[in-house]
Every structure is written in structure tokens, then in C-alpha cells.
Amino acid sequence: MTSHYSFMNKISWQAWQMFLQLVRSGSLNRAAEKLGWSQPTLSRQLRQLEKQLGQTLFDRSTQGLRPTAFALSLMESCEEMENLALQLERRVSGLDQALTGRIRLSVNELLAQYYLPALLPGFMDSYPQLSLEVEVNNRASSLDRRDADVALRMFVPRQPDLVARKLFELPLGFYASGSYLDRVGQPSSVEDLLRLRLLGYDRDQQLVAKAAELGWSLGNEDFLLRTDFQPLHLELACQGGGVVITHASLAESRGLKVVEVDLPLPSLPVYLCCHRDVEHNRRIRVLMDFLAEHLSPHLVR
């Protein structure tokens, strides 16, 4: 008779990865997209896993997948197994000295749109055997999970397993086009500024949180024109769309005028990060060294 242990032992790590993605996604469609599988394949693999376990893992509904109590009881062990597998992958990658293969860089929208185009062709010319992928995301990608190999971040990294190098700080300010300020006039106070058309975020709460740190009561509803796509803020301001909070170097490169009010803004630090396990990987090392040498607050496309 086949024992429960020997039966369970046949379950592959890929099946557990699928299980974790389903729990995290809460949807067959989203999980299939993340895994790069078709939905029928994912459904079939899920049924196979449930058959092997002899237990239902998810309650299905039109709202998606809800993990059962049994599924939730497996999560801690699955996540421990995942962390060990990721650690092993990182350490193996950290020993790689080849200047061939893939490397993945994570940056936010403004850096990707306005700073990197002047840099990346030179990097690829220097290392023609490398394949560079750029993930553009305003949320911090996971270097633990290897969502990226290298990240440029505009906040102080707190994670203990990261190697971080501070490159510079980007001064921030309020900016608008000369044509817009000619129409509405230069504000002389914060209250005057709030009466102007402020360009801000839609669902993203980062500016609201920063304003609260400065003691300024601000909600996304105070922005009369909202988008979470940061380059659009800048381009709207250039077209007389209103007042934008942005990098001084970017605003000046676009001919925007500073809006002077008594509300000093902190600078944005720019950090170059990788996971400690992969810091000696040669591909990662050359990309980090190149960015550290060439990236500049005044390098704006």
C-alpha cells in the first residue's frame, strides 16, 4: 500500500510554486499570467495537486479563489521552502562570472523615461553579449524573489540583506510653465498654491503620505488633475496644465518656472541596490559600476 508520505513526496516544487502563486493572486487568470501558463493548464495542474493531497485547496466563486483552512495551514512551510530555493538560486547566481546572459534592472517611471535613454545604449555597446531587461515600476520590486537583479530606488533601503550605494540626491520643487503662471499669477503662500491646479496622483498615496510627514493636510482629491503615470505630470505642466512637484533638474530641462512658496521639500535620495547574495555576480557588478559612474542628476534626455 502506498504510504501518505511516499505519495506526498511525489509533489514537485513547481506544484508548490503554483500553489503559492494562486494564494497570492486569488485568481486563476492572474496566477496563470504570472506563471506564464495558460488557464486550462493551470486548472489542470491545480486539480492534480488537490487529487494528490486528497484535499480541496480553494473555494471557487465568481469573485476568484479563496484558500481553504487546509491551504492556509500549508503556507508557512511553503514560504520557508520558497525562501530556501530563492536563497540557493541567488547564491548560485552570485558565483557566476560570465559576461553573457540576462540581467534585470528595476527603475521608476521618471528615471526610465528621462535618465536611462542617454545611458543604456552605451552600456549595451560596452557589453554586447549581455541581455538587459528593464522593469519600470513605481513600487519597489523584490530583490529577494529576484524580480530584479539591480534596482534604483528613491528611498532609504531598510532591508538588511541588500547592498546599497547612495548615488546622489535630487532636489524637488513646485514648477509650472511660464504661460500658466502668467495666467494665474505667482502664489505667495501655501494657501494660494492650493487654489491653483495641482497635478497629482490618482490611486497612489505616496505624495499624500509625504505631505503628512511635512504637516501638510493633503488628499488625492485636492489634485484637480490626477494620474499615477508620473511622466504625464511633467508633460502636462509643460503644456500649461498646472503645478507639478518634480525633480528640479527635470523641470529646468523643460523650461518650467519654479513656484516659490514657503514650503521646503526634502530631496529625493537615489540608491543603487542589489541583494547581498549576488553582489559578486559579474553581470550585476558591471551594471552597478556603470550606473554609479554615469548616472547623474543632470543627465536628462
User: 186 pLDDT exceeds 70?
Assistant: yes
Give the cell for residue 184.
494665474
Please give the tally of structural domains in the chain. 3
> pLDDT-based confidence at 6, cuts 50/70/90?
very low
Same domain for 211 and 160: no
User: 233 pLDDT exceeds 80?
Assistant: yes
Same domain for 230 and 284: no
Q: What confidence tens digit (pLDDT) does each residue in 26-44 have?
A: 888 888 888 888 888 888 8
pLDDT on residue 173: 92
Residue 300 lies in a domain: no
Residue 124 lies in a domain: yes
Q: What confidence tens digit (pLDDT) does each residue in 33-74 have?
A: 888 888 888 888 898 898 888 889 998 888 888 989 998 998
Average pLDDT over every residue of 231-244: 95
> pLDDT-based confidence at 4, cuts 50/70/90?
very low
Cell numbers 506564464 correspond to what residue? 36
Same domain for 287 and 254: no
Same domain for 164 and 179: no
User: 2 pLDDT exceeds 60?
Assistant: no
User: 7 pLDDT exceeds 50?
Assistant: no
Average pLDDT of the chain is 85
Same domain for 226 and 160: no
Q: What confidence tens digit (pLDDT) does each residue in 262-286 have?
A: 878 889 999 999 988 888 888 898 8
d(CA 240, CA 257): 11
Residue 86 lies in a domain: yes
> pLDDT-based confidence at 98, cuts 50/70/90?
low
Residue 65 lies in a domain: yes
pLDDT on residue 177: 96
The strand pair at 64-67 and 101-107 is best described as unpaired
Same domain for 212 and 155: no
Q: What is the DSSP string of 21-62?
A: HHHHH-SHHHHHHHHT--HHHHHHHHHHHHHHHTS--EEEET
> pLDDT-based confidence at 90, cuts 50/70/90?
low
pLDDT on residue 209: 78
Same domain for 275 and 138: yes
pTM: 0.67
- Beta strand extents in 232-297 (DSSP E only): 244-247, 257-258, 268-275
User: 238 pLDDT exceeds 80?
Assistant: yes
User: 216 pLDDT exceeds 80?
Assistant: no
Residue 283 lies in a domain: yes
**Mapped to the 3 state alphabet, what secondary structure does 52-89 carry?**
HHCCCCEEEECCEEEECHHHHHHHHHHHHHHHHHHHHH
pLDDT on residue 301: 57
Average pLDDT over every residue of 236-258: 94
Q: Show the domain range for 242.
A: 172-258
Q: What confidence tens digit (pLDDT) does each residue in 135-170 have?
A: 998 888 877 777 889 999 998 888 888 889 999 999
Output the CA–CA distances (angstroms, integers) from residue 65 to 16, 56, 90, 133, 155, in the order listed: 16, 12, 31, 32, 35
Same domain for 59 and 122: no
Check: CB of residue 198 under 8 Å from CB of residue 237. Answer: no
Higher pLDDT, 123 or 212: 123
